[in-house]
Each structure stands twice: as structure tokens, then as C-alpha cells.
């Protein structure tokens, strides 16, 4: 039909060993494709017809890919576009979307084209499944953290990371892991919106292979650069010979912010870097046109000066061709091997 734009997201997926995944790289390709992707959609006036997204054709639905679908849905709906979502044809994939709570949140932005093909599919999350997905905003933040703490204290997520119930070492990971989640969640609510404490975003954590657990958080807010420029950091940045010219610089500045302003007593993303180093994680961040990766696999960062220099010298990335509002995180955690080592490779 003339007034329908169909977007088959699987067309943007890479072909690794013939397998198509809904993941970060797939969505990056969609954002950068000016002929068929995000920019082509936004060149069209809102309210003129329907944008038909399809999840058919994927072999795997990675947690970071689901996060991106929600963010795109929120952003386009907020601009006045009408969206529909065609679900995968594989019933196990649809059941996964139901169990993790994706369908419950996604229906705020999409109509589901083929939901009735699968019989009695509920639009509420199931219980007891090894995935946690939640929408985070001011009025749900404390409830989200309480729920997550309960799951964490029950040890379910630590078991995903390779710590069985009777492993004493698991407690070394419990509190850094919870605090890492708390810091990023608070940052989303407090800073992602132009209005303080009015931000909102999404969180999902799930084992997505036998060896990896992936934690994703993201929002479609103002991004790091706009947020930091409003803080008047020019003088302090100049003393440190630190640049804030583009979105990649803004990611590094946000990670090091507590050190730059001389306040490392609290949390913030500076604390997230330290906590991730305890968990031997790999952080990937995107903000508008900036993309960065920071590997934290070589030892625990305790000293503040060392952490600052590590962020400065080890954060790799740059400015990408496409832009999308807000900030998105991936933190990959390698499941512990039988001998206790983590040996993460990315």
C-alpha cells in the first residue's frame, strides 16, 4: 500500500555463519541507512500512513536488540508516527518476547500485526524466567530496584554468571553488581531528560549464549553532550586538558565526570566503571553520534587517578554517521569458568 513503509529489520543484520541476530550492530546499520533506515522514516511527515516494522527472519533476538526496538518505538511514537510490529514466525521467539515482558511494554508504541496467529499469547510477563526487562521512570525506579535486589539476593543472576548457590565467592559479585545497576538507573531518571528527574528508559538483562550474560540500559533523552554543556565545565576541563567537542568526547567526560568535578564521594558513572572492573565487564556506550567501548578485564580499578587515566586512554571509539537521541549502554559479563577465571574476550 502507498501509505505504508515496511521495515524488515532482518535485512540490516550481519550474516555470521548464516545466523541473523537482532542486536546492536543490526540496529546501527538501520540507523545509518539513509535509503531504507531511520533517516528515511523521519523524512516523512508524522501521521502520514503507517510504519510497519517486522521481526521476521531473525534466528536470535538479543537483549540489546529488544532494547533498541523499544527506544525506536518510543521516539517515533513521540514524534507522531503510527507504528505496527510484525512478530517472528517462530513460536519460541514469540514466547520469549511474552515471557520477558517485551510485548507488555512494546504495545505502548506498536500495534501487533500477527499476534493472533499464535493462539492465546498473553501481553503480561510470565514469572520465573531467566530474563528481566523493565521500564524505568521516576515513579517506578524504587520498585524496580527493590525487585532487582530481590532477584539478586535470591542469587538467580549470579547463577547466570556461573556462581552456584553454595559458592562463597558469589557474594563478592553481588553488591558491586547491584550497585552498578542502581547507578545507571538513577542516571537515566535524573539526567536523561531536559527536566531533572523526569527521564525514563529501559533495562534488560539475560543470558544470551552459554558463555555470556548481557545487561542493557538505554533512554531516548537529551544525550551526554547536551547534559554536560549545561553544567559549565569549561574551566575544569581546560585544567585537565580534556576536550568536549563531540558526542564521543561527551561519553568519556560522562564516565569520568565525578573525578573531573572533584566529587568522587557519590556514585555516578565513574563508580560504574569501578564496579564493572570488579565484575570484569566490557562496557559499550552510545550517545547521539558517539560510540565507545571500554574493556575492564585486566584487574580491579580502586585508585581514582588510575580509573580516570584508564577511562582517558582505554576508551576507544569515535563519532558515527547516524544520530539517535539519548544514551544506550551494553555491559557484557563473561560467565565464570570452572576454575574461577573470567578471561573475557570481546
Could you tell me if 77 and 163 lie in one domain? no
Could you tell me if 183 and 83 lie in one domain? no
> By percentage, how much of the chain surpasses pLDDT 70?
85
Report for 14-23, 114-123, 168-177, 277-286: range of highest mean pLDDT: 277-286
Could you tell me if 200 and 281 lie in one domain? yes
Domain, as residue range, for 25: 1-129
Query: Which are the contacts of 180, defined by CB distance < 8 A and separation ≥ 6?
Result: 272, 275, 276, 279, 331
Q: Which of 129, 157, 190 is the last residue of a domain?
A: 129
Element (H, E) at 75: helix 63-78
- DSSP E strands: which ranges in 113-209? 132-137, 200-207
Residue 344 domain-assigned (yes or no)? yes
Element (H, E) at 188: helix 170-191
Could you tell me if 168 and 212 lie in one domain? yes
Could you tell me if 214 and 312 lie in one domain? yes
Q: What is the pLDDT of residues 205-239, one digit of tens each?
A: 887 667 778 889 999 999 999 888 888 887 888 88
b vs e for 68-106, b when ≥16 Cβ sit within 10 Å of the residue's Cβ?
Answer: bbbbbbbbbbeeebbbbbbbbeeeebbebbbbbbbbbbb
CATH code for the domain of 346 = 3.30.565
Residue 141 domain-assigned (yes or no)? no
Distance CA(77)–CA(72), nearest Å, equals: 8
Nearest to 130 by CA among 60, 201, 63, 207: 207
Tell me what pLDDT residue 261 has.
84
Could you tell me if 224 and 115 lie in one domain? no
Could you tell me if 109 and 225 lie in one domain? no
CATH code for the domain of 55 = 3.30.750
Q: Would the pLDDT of 33 be above 80?
A: yes
Residue 134 domain-assigned (yes or no)? no
pTM of the model: 0.86
Could you tell me if 196 and 107 lie in one domain? no
Q: Are strands 111-112 and 82-86 parallel, antiparallel or unpaired?
A: parallel
Query: Which are the contacts of 233, defined by CB distance < 8 A and separation ≥ 6?
Result: 244, 253, 260, 261
Could you tell me if 124 and 157 lie in one domain? no
When pLDDT is cut at 50, 70 and 90, the band that residue 290 belongs to is: very high
With DSSP H G I counted as helix, E B as strand and the rest as coil, what are the percentages for the chain, rounded to 5? 40, 25, 35
Distance CA(128)–CA(99), nearest Å, equals: 9
When pLDDT is cut at 50, 70 and 90, the band that residue 118 belongs to is: very low
Tell me what pLDDT residue 121 has.
42
Question: Domain tally for the chain?
Answer: 2
Q: Which of 73, 103, 129 is the last residue of a domain?
A: 129
Are the C-beta atoms of residues 321 and 214 closer than 8 Å to each other?
no
Residue 137 domain-assigned (yes or no)? no
Residue 139 domain-assigned (yes or no)? no
Give the total residue count for the chain.
346
Q: Would the pLDDT of 72 be above 90?
A: yes
Number of H-type helices and E-type strands within the chain: 14, 11
**From residue 49, how far is each of 1, 69, 81, 191 by CA, in Å?**
9, 20, 8, 34
Could you tell me if 81 and 158 lie in one domain? no
Could you tell me if 182 and 234 lie in one domain? yes
Judged by DSSP in three states, 275 sits in helix
Could you tell me if 108 and 247 lie in one domain? no
Residue 135 domain-assigned (yes or no)? no
Tell me what pLDDT residue 164 has.
64
Residue 136 domain-assigned (yes or no)? no
Q: What is the mean pLDDT of residues 92-97?
A: 80
Amino acid at each position: 500500500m502507498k501509505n505504508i513503509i515496511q521495515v524488515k529489520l532482518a535485512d540490516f543484520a550481519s550474516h555470521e555463519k548464516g545466523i541473523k541476530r537482532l542486536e546492536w550492530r543490526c540496529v546501527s546499520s538501520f540507523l545509518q541507512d539513509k535509503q531504507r533506515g531511520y533517516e528515511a522514516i523521519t523524512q516523512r511527515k508524522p501521521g502520514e500512513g503507517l510504519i510497519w516494522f517486522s521481526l521476521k527472519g531473525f534466528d536470535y533476538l538479543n537483549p540489546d536488540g529488544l532494547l533498541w526496538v523499544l527506544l525506536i518505538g518510543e521516539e517515533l511514537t513521540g514524534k507522531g508516527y503510527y507504528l505496527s510490529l510484525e512478530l517472528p514466525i517462530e513460536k519460541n521467539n514469540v514466547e520469549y518476547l511474552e515471557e520477558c515482558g517485551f510485548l507488555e511494554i512494546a504495545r505502548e508504541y506498536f500495534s501487533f500485526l500477527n499476534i493472533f496467529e499464535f493462539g492465546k499469547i498473553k501481553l503480561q510477563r510470565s514469572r520465573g524466567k531467566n530474563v528481566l526487562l523493565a521500564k524505568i521512570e521516576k515513579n517506578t525506579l524504587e520498585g524496580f530496584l527493590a525487585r532487582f535486589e530481590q532477584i539478586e539476593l535470591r542469587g538467580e543472576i549470579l547463577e547466570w554468571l556461573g556462581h552456584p548457590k553454595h559458592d562463597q565467592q558469589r557474594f563478592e559479585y553481588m553488591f558491586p553488581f547491584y550497585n552498578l545497576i542502581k547507578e545507571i538507573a538513577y542516571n537515566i531518571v535524573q539526567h536523561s531528560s531536559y527536566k531533572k528527574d523526569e527521564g525514563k528508559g529501559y533495562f534488560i538483562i539475560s543470558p544470551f549464549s552459554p558463555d555470556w550474560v548481557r545487561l542493557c540500559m538505554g533512554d531516548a533523552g537529551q544525550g551526554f553532550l547536551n547534559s554536560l554543556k549545561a553544567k559549565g565545565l569549561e574551566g575544569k576541563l581546560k585544567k585537565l586538558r580534556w576536550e568536549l567537542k563531540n558526542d564521543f568526547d561527551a561519553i568519556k567526560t560522562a564516565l569520568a565526570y565525578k573525578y573531573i568535578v572533584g566529587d568522587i564521594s557519590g556514585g555516578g558513572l565513574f563508580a560504574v566503571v569501578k564496579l564493572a572492573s570488579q565484575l570484569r565487564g566490557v562496557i559499550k556506550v552510545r550517545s547521539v553520534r558517539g560510540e565507545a567501548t571500554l574493556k575492564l578485564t585486566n584487574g580491579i580499578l580502586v585508585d581514582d587517578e588510575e580509573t580516570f587515566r584508564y577511562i582517558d586512554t582505554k576508551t576507544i571509539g569515535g563519532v558515527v554517521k547516524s544520530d539517535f537521541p539519548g544514551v544506550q549502554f551494553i555491559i557484557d559479563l563473561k560467565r565464570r569458568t570452572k576454575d574461577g577465571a573470567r578471561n573475557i574476550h570481546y
